[in-house]
Amino acid sequence: MLVALFHHAPPNIDGTRLKQFDQSTVTSRKGSQAPTPPQAVKGIGKKVAKPDYSESKIVLAMVGLPARGKSYLSNKLMIYLKWLEYDVKVFNVGQLRRTRAKQKAQQSGIKEDHSASFFSHNNPEATLSRERLAEDSLEMLIKWLKDGGNVGIHDATNSSRERRAKIEARVNKEPGMTLIFLESVCDDPAVIAANVALKVSSGDPDYKDFSPDKARADFLRRIAEYEKVYETITEPHLSYLRITNVGREVTVSRINGYLSSRIAFYLMNLHLKPRSIFFSRHGESQYNVEGKLGGDSLLSPRGMEYSKALPALIKENIGDQPLTVWTSTLRRTIQTGENLQYTKLTWKSLDELDAGVCDGMTYEEIEHAYPDDFANRDEDKFNYRYRGGESYRDVVLRLEPVIMELERQENILIIGHQAILRCLYAYFHYLPQEDLPYIKIPLHTVIKLTPRAYGCEEERYPLPITAVDTHRAKPRAAQPVAQASSARQYFAPEDQAA
Ligand code: SIN
C-alpha cells in the first residue's frame, strides 16, 4: 500500500508548501510501475471521470401487498445506489395508472374509478387494464436500461406466480440483463397501520378527494382484494430476496454478482427502529483559525469550549437512551468528543478529504500559486481530485461502509469534518451531486437527523460559541442548494406515461 508521508516542508521556490513524499515512498512505488509511462503531473490535481458502470443492468421487480413498504424499499435502494453513482430509476405502476387515467379524463372526459373494486380479480376489465399497465411499465424500464440505465426498479405488487413468470420471460429476452425479485412481507400490525395511515394522510393522489375515514376504508378493501390472490415467492429457480418486517428476517436466494450482492447486503442492514443520527464537526481547530486545509491540528481555545459544551446539548436531546460516538482518527475530532461519556469508535474512513499537495495551504495560497487549477476545481468540485489526495467522489466511495453501518445502527453521533459530513448529509437528504460540495455544515452546530419513511427530519442546534466560517459559496451559483424534505415523492415522472 502506498503511504503518503507529510512533512511540514519549507516553502517551494514558488512560495507554496506542497506535500512531499519521502524516499521510502519513492522506493516502494518502483515495484508497481505502470507498463505505460505515467502522464506528466503538474498543478494541484485534475478532474477524474465517474467509474464505468455501463455493464450493470438489473431489473429489480418488487413483490408484495399494498402497505408492505415496497415503495419505501425502492426509494431507499434508489437513493443509496444513486449516491454511489449508479443510474437508478423507479417505475411505479400506480403512478403510471394515475397519469394515464388523467390523460384519458382530459381527452374523453371519462373519469376512471380507481376505488377498491378496480383492484378486484373479479373485475376482468380492470384486471386486464392493470396487467397492461404493469407490462407497459416493464417495457419502459427495459428501454431505459438499454439506453444506459443500471438498475430499474419495477415498483408494483407483482403478487402472482403468473405475473412473475411473465416478467421473467420478458427479461430473459434481453441479453446481459439480470432479474431479481424483492419481496416485502410484513405481518407487524403496527407497521401496516402506520403504512396505511401514511397512504391516506399524506396527500396521496389516489385519495386526494376522499375524507380520511373513507380513504382508509377504501384502502383496506383494496388490500383485501390483493390478499385473495397473493402468492408469496416459492419459485425455486428465481433470484430473489424476501424481507420480513424490514430487518427481522431476510431470505436470499440465487443472488450472484457484485452489484446484486451489494443490493442484498444493503437491504439486509435496513431497519425501522426509531433513532436519531447526530452530526457535528469538530470544534474550531488551530488550522481553521489560520485558514489552512487539512492537517492534524488540535482545537483552538474556542474549539475547546465547544468540546466542553457538547455533552450537555447531546444529553438534553438523547436523555438516557444509548448512543455511540464515532470520530475520525484525526486529533481535532477525538479532542472534541473527549468529554462525552458514551462508547466511542474511531474510523479511518471518517478522516477529512485528503487535500494532497494542498494539505496545509490556505485557499488564498492555492489561488495565488495555481489560479487555473483553482478555477477548475471550482467549476466541478465533486470530480476534482487533488494531486496525491482525493476528490469528493473518492470520499463518497470510502464512506460506503460507514453508510452501511449507519443503516444498521441506532443512535449515533458522528464528530467529523466538513467534506465528510457533506457526503453523509447528501445521502440522508438525497441531495444532488453538484450541490454536495456546497452544503452548509457550520462549526459549533449539531445537526440532528431523524429518519422517516420518506427522507429525514432535521433540527440544527448552533451553540453560541463563535467560530470561523469555513464555507466557500458555489461560485456563480445558478440555483440555491436543494432543500431537504421528508415528504413522500413518487420518483416516476410523467414521461413514463409515454
Ligand atoms: C397500483 O395500480 O397502484 C398498483 C398496481 C399493482 O402493482 O398491482
Residue 227 assigned as binding residue: no
Residue 283 assigned as binding residue: yes
Domain total of the chain: 2
- In whole angstroms, what is the distance from residue 142 CA to residue 177 CA? 9
CA 453 to chain CA centroid, nearest Å: 14
**DSSP characters over 123-143:** -HHHHHHHHHHHHHHHHHHHH
Last residue of a domain, one of 245, 272, 299: 272
Residue 343: left if φ>0, alpha if ψ -120 to 50, beta else—which one? beta
- In whole angstroms, what is the distance from residue 44 CA to residue 213 CA? 63
* Distance from Cα 83 to the centre of ligand 1, integer Å: 28
State the greatest distance between any 2 C-alpha atoms of the chain, in Å, as a whole number. Answer: 84
Crossing angle of helices 70-83 and 392-408, in 10° steps, is 150
Q: Does one domain contain both 184 and 238? A: yes
Give the domain extent around 345. Answer: 274-462
Q: Does residue 244 contact residue 186 with C-beta atoms inside 8 Å? A: yes
Ligand 1 atom at minimal distance to the Cα of residue 114: 2
Average pLDDT over residues 176-187: 97
- In whole angstroms, what is the distance from residue 373 CA to residue 43 CA? 7
pLDDT tier for residue 37 given thresholds of 50, 70 and 90 = very low
311: three-class secondary structure by DSSP = helix
Instruction: Provide the annotated active-site residues.
Output: 155, 282, 352
- In whole angstroms, what is the distance from residue 495 CA to residue 498 CA? 6
Q: Does one domain contain both 327 and 458? A: yes
* Distance from Cα 194 to the centre of ligand 1, integer Å: 19
pLDDT tier for residue 202 given thresholds of 50, 70 and 90 = confident
Q: Does one domain contain both 121 and 169? A: yes
Q: Does one domain contain both 251 and 155? A: yes
Q: Does one domain contain both 233 and 288? A: no
* Distance from Cα 134 to the centre of ligand 1, integer Å: 8
* Distance from Cα 66 to the centre of ligand 1, integer Å: 8
Q: Does one domain contain both 206 and 73? A: yes
- The single residue listed with the C-alpha cell 516502494 is 28
Per-residue pLDDT of 439-478, as tens digits, reads 999 999 999 999 988 889 999 999 999 999 999 888 766 5
In a domain, 476, yes or no: no
What beta strand segments (E) does 36-140 contain? 45-47, 58-63, 88-92
- Pocket test residue of 95, 113, 115, 133 for ligand 1, highest count of atoms within 8 A of CB: 133
Ligand 1 atom at minimal distance to the Cα of residue 226: 8
Residue 302 assigned as binding residue: no
- In whole angstroms, what is the distance from residue 468 CA to residue 56 CA? 45
Residue 4 confidence (pLDDT):
33
- Pocket test residue of 90, 127, 130, 222 for ligand 1, highest count of atoms within 8 A of CB: 130
For the entire predicted model, the pTM comes to 0.88
- Residue 258 has phi, psi (to 5 degrees) of -65, -55
Average pLDDT over residues 429-445: 96
